[in-house]
C-alpha cells in the first residue's frame, strides 16, 4: 500500500502553479508602483526645466531693458525706445508665468527677493528714458552715471543666479529619485524571475520524481499480476494497446509542459532586458537635459557679444557727431571767407589781387572739409561692420536657441522610449501568464491520460474469473494509481 499521508500529485502540481503566479503578481504590483514613481519624477523634471527657461527669459529681458536704455541715452532713436517697451512687456509676461509655476517654498522666497530688485531696475531705466523724451539727454546720462545702474543690474542677475542654481538642485534630486526607481524596478524583476525559476524547478523536480516512483511501484504490481491471467491475453492486448497510447500521449504532454516552462523562463529574461532598456533610455534623457543647459549657457555668451557690439556702435556714433560738428564749422567759415573775399574784391578793383591770401585760406578750409568728410565715410563703414557683426552674433544666438529646442525634443523622445520599454515589460508579463495557463491545460491532459489507464485496468479485471487473486491485486494497484493523481 502506498503512503496516503504524503502530498498528492495534484497538490504538488497546484503548488508549482501557484508559486510563479504569486511571484509574477507581486512583481507586476511593484512594477506598477515603480512606473508611477518614474512618471512623477519625469513630470517634476519637465516642470523644473520650464522654470529654468522662464528664469533665463527674465534674465534676457532685463539685459535687453538695460541695453536699450543705454542706447537711447547715447542716441535718441525710436528703435531703442520701442525695444525698451517690448522687453518690459516680455519681462512682465515671463514673470507672471514664473510666478504661476513655482511651488517650492525656497524658490518662492527667492522669487520674492528678486521682484523688488527687478522693479527698481526697470523704474530707474524708465526714468532715464522719460528724461531723454523730455529733451534732457545730458541730465539723463549724468543721472545714469550717478545712480550706478550697472550695480542694480548685477544685483538682479545675482538673484536670478540663485534661483537658477536652486532649480538645478531640484532637477538633480528628481533625476536621483528617477534613477533609484528604475534600479529598484530592475532588481525587482530580476529577483522575481529568479525566485519563480528556482521554485518552478524545485517543485517540478519533486513532481516528476514522485510521479515516477509511484508509477513504477504500480507498474511492478500490475506486471506481476498479468502473469496469472494468460487465458485472457487477447483482451489484455487490446487494453495494453490503449494503455500504450495513453502513455505516449502523457509523454508528449509532459514534453509540451517542459517547452512551455522554458518559454516562461525566456519571457522572464525578456522582461529583465526591457527594464534594462528603460534604464538606458532614462540615462539618454538625462544627457539630453544636460545638453539643453549647455545650449542656454552658449546663448548667454552670444547675447553678451551683441551687447559689446552695440556699445562700440554707440561710441562710433558719438565720434560721427563730433566730426559732423567740425564739418559744419568749417563750412560756415568757408562761406564767411568767400563772402568777405567777394566784398573786398569789389571794393579794391584792380587792387583785389591782394586778397589772394584770403582765397588760399578758403582753399585750405575746403581741403579740411574734404578730409573730414572722408573720416566720416570711414566711420560710417566701421559702423556698418559693427552692425553686421551684431547681426551675425544675433543669428548665432538664434541657432543656439534652435539647438536647445531640438535637444528638448530629444528629451521628450527619450522619455517616450521609457514608456514603450515599460509597456514591453507588461506585455512580457502577460505572455508569461498565458504560458502558465497552457501549462495548466497540459497538466489536465496528463490527468485525462491517467484516467484512461484506469479504465483500461478496470476492463482487464473482467477478463478471467478463475484468477480472482491476481485480478484483486491489479484492481488495488489501479485504485492506488487513481488516488495519487
pLDDT tens-digit series, residues 137-165? 888 788 777 766 677 778 888 888 888 99
The mean pLDDT value for 263-269 works out to: 73
Q: Which residues, including other chains, have CB under 8 Å from residue 69's CB and lie 6 or more apart?
A: 80, 84, 125, 128, 129, 144, 149
Q: Which residues, including other chains, have CB under 8 Å from residue 127's CB and lie 6 or more apart?
A: 143
Q: In this predicted model, which residue has the larger pLDDT, 421 or 166?
A: 166
Q: In this predicted model, which residue has the larger pLDDT, 225 or 329?
A: 329
What is the C-alpha to C-alpha distance for residues 128 and 74, in angstroms, rounded to an integer?
A: 11
Q: What is the pLDDT of residues 331-359, one digit of tens each?
A: 677 767 766 776 776 677 677 666 666 76
Give pLDDT, residue 447: 59
Q: Mean pLDDT over all residues of the chain?
A: 75
Give pLDDT, residue 4: 43
Q: Which cell goes with 324?
A: 559732423
Q: Render 89-150 in DSSP notation, one character per residue.
A: HHHHHHHHHHHHH---HHHHHHHHHHHHHHHHHHHHHHHHHHHHHTT-HHHHHHHHHHHTHH
Residue 36 has pLDDT above 70, yes or no: yes
Residue 3 has pLDDT above 50, yes or no: no
Give pLDDT, residue 436: 63
Give pLDDT, residue 243: 67
Q: What is the pLDDT of residues 78-109, one digit of tens each?
A: 888 888 889 889 999 999 999 898 888 988 89
Highest mean pLDDT among 19-23, 288-292, 385-389: 385-389
Q: Which cell goes with 240?
A: 495494453
pTM beyond cutoff 0.95: no
The three state secondary structure string of 451-466 is HHHHHHHHHHHCCCCC
What is the C-alpha to C-alpha distance for residues 256 and 204, in angstroms, rounded to an integer?
A: 14
Per-residue pLDDT band at 307 (split at 50, 70, 90): low
- For 359, the enclosing helix (H) or strand (E) is helix 356-461
Give pLDDT, residue 268: 65
Highest mean pLDDT among 166-180, 230-244, 426-440, 448-462: 166-180
Per-residue burial over 311-345, b if 16 or more Cβ lie within 10 Å, else e, is ebbbebbeebeebeeebeebeeebeebeeebeeeb
Q: Render 166-189 in DSSP notation, one character per residue.
A: HHHHHHHHHHHHHHHHHHHHHHHH
What is the C-alpha to C-alpha distance for residues 160 and 440, in angstroms, rounded to an integer?
A: 65
CA atoms within 13 A on the CB side of 476: 13
Highest mean pLDDT among 174-188, 429-443, 450-464: 174-188
The mean pLDDT value for 186-197 works out to: 78
Give pLDDT, residue 97: 92
Q: In this predicted model, which residue has the larger pLDDT, 330 or 166?
A: 166
Give pLDDT, residue 9: 62
Give pLDDT, residue 132: 84
Give pLDDT, residue 221: 67
Residue 421 has pLDDT above 90, yes or no: no
Q: In this predicted model, which residue has the larger pLDDT, 227 or 387?
A: 387
What is the C-alpha to C-alpha distance for residues 291 and 283, in angstroms, rounded to an integer?
A: 13
Contact 285, 174 (CB under 8 A): no
What is the C-alpha to C-alpha distance for residues 281 and 421, in angstroms, rounded to an integer?
A: 9
Give pLDDT, residue 279: 67
Q: In this predicted model, which residue has the larger pLDDT, 447 or 42?
A: 42
Give helix then strand counts, H and E, for the chain. Answer: 8, 0
Residue 41 has pLDDT above 80, yes or no: no
Percentage of residues in the chain having pLDDT higher than 70: 70
Assign residue 18 a region (left: φ > 0; alpha: ψ between -120 and 50; beta: otherwise).
Answer: alpha
What is the C-alpha to C-alpha distance for residues 222 and 472, in angstroms, rounded to an integer?
A: 11
What is the C-alpha to C-alpha distance for residues 303 and 390, in angstroms, rounded to an integer?
A: 10
The contacts found for 89-98 with CB under 8 angstroms, 24 or more apart, are 90/57, 90/61, 90/64, 91/58, 91/61, 91/62, 91/65, 91/118, 91/122, 94/54, 94/57, 94/58, 94/61, 95/58, 97/54, 98/51, 98/54, 98/55, 98/58
Q: What is the pLDDT of residues 446-457, one digit of tens each?
A: 657 767 766 765
The mean pLDDT value for 170-192 works out to: 82
The mean pLDDT value for 261-283 works out to: 73
Give pLDDT, residue 2: 40
Give pLDDT, residue 86: 92
Residue 398 has pLDDT above 50, yes or no: yes
What is the C-alpha to C-alpha distance for residues 296 and 300, in angstroms, rounded to an integer?
A: 6
What is the C-alpha to C-alpha distance for residues 158 and 156, in angstroms, rounded to an integer?
A: 5
Amino acid at each position: 500500500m502506498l503512503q496516503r499521508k504524503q502530498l498528492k500529485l495534484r497538490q504538488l502540481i497546484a503548488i508549482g502553479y501557484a508559486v510563479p503566479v504569486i511571484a509574477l503578481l507581486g512583481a507586476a504590483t511593484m512594477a506598477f508602483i515603480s512606473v508611477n514613481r518614474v512618471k512623477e519624477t519625469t513630470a517634476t523634471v519637465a516642470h523644473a526645466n520650464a522654470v529654468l527657461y522662464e528664469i533665463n527669459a527674465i534674465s534676457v529681458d532685463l539685459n535687453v531693458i538695460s541695453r536699450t536704455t543705454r542706447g537711447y541715452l547715447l542716441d535718441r532713436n525710436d528703435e531703442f525706445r520701442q525695444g525698451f517697451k517690448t522687453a518690459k512687456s516680455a519681462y512682465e509676461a515671463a514673470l507672471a508665468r514664473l510666478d504661476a509655476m513655482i511651488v517650492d517654498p525656497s524658490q518662492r522666497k527667492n522669487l520674492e527677493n528678486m521682484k523688488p530688485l527687478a522693479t527698481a531696475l526697470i523704474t530707474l531705466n524708465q526714468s532715464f528714458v522719460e528724461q531723454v523724451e523730455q529733451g534732457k539727454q545730458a541730465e539723463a546720462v549724468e543721472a545714469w552715471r550717478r545712480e550706478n545702474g550697472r550695480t542694480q543690474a548685477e544685483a538682479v542677475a545675482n538673484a536670478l543666479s540663485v534661483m537658477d542654481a536652486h532649480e538645478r538642485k531640484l532637477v538633480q534630486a528628481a533625476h536621483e529619485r528617477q534613477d533609484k526607481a528604475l534600479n529598484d524596478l530592475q532588481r525587482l524583476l530580476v529577483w522575481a524571475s529568479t525566485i519563480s525559476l528556482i521554485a518552478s524547478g524545485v517543485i517540478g523536480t519533486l513532481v516528476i520524481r514522485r510521479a515516477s516512483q509511484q508509477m513504477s511501484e504500480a507498474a511492478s504490481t500490475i506486471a506481476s499480476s498479468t502473469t496469472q491471467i494468460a487465458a485472457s491475453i487477447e483482451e489484455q492486448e487490446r487494453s495494453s494497446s490503449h494503455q500504450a497510447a495513453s502513455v505516449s500521449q502523457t509523454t508528449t504532454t509532459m514534453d509540451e509542459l517542459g517547452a512551455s516552462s522554458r518559454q516562461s523562463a525566456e519571457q522572464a529574461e525578456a522582461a529583465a532586458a526591457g527594464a534594462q532598456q528603460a534604464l538606458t533610455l532614462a540615462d539618454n534623457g538625462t544627457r539630453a537635459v544636460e545638453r539643453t543647459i549647455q545650449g542656454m549657457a552658449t546663448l548667454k555668451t552670444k547675447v553678451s557679444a551683441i551687447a559689446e557690439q552695440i556699445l562700440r556702435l554707440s561710441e562710433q556714433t558719438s565720434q560721427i557727431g563730433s566730426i559732423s560738428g567740425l564739418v559744419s564749422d568749417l563750412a560756415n567759415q568757408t562761406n564767411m571767407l568767400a563772402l568777405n573775399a567777394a566784398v573786398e574784391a569789389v571794393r579794391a578793383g584792380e587792387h583785389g589781387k591782394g586778397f589772394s591770401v584770403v582765397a588760399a585760406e578758403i582753399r585750405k578750409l575746403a581741403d579740411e572739409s574734404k578730409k573730414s568728410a572722408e573720416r566720416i565715410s570711414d566711420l560710417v563703414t566701421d559702423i556698418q561692420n559693427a552692425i553686421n557683426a551684431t547681426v551675425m552674433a544675433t543669428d548665432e544666438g538664434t541657432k543656439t536657441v534652435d539647438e536647445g529646442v531640438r535637444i528638448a525634443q530629444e528629451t521628450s523622445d527619450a522619455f517616450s522610449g521609457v514608456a514603450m520599454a515599460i509597456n514591453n515589460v507588461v506585455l512580457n508579463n502577460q505572455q508569461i501568464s498565458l504560458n502558465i495557463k497552457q501549462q495548466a491545460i497540459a497538466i489536465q491532459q496528463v490527468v485525462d491520460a491517467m484516467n484512461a489507464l484506469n479504465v483500461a485496468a478496470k476492463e482487464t479485471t473482467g477478463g478471467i474469473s478463475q484468477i480472482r487473486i491476481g485480478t484483486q491485486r491489479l484492481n488495488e494497484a489501479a485504485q492506488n494509481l487513481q488516488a495519487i493523481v
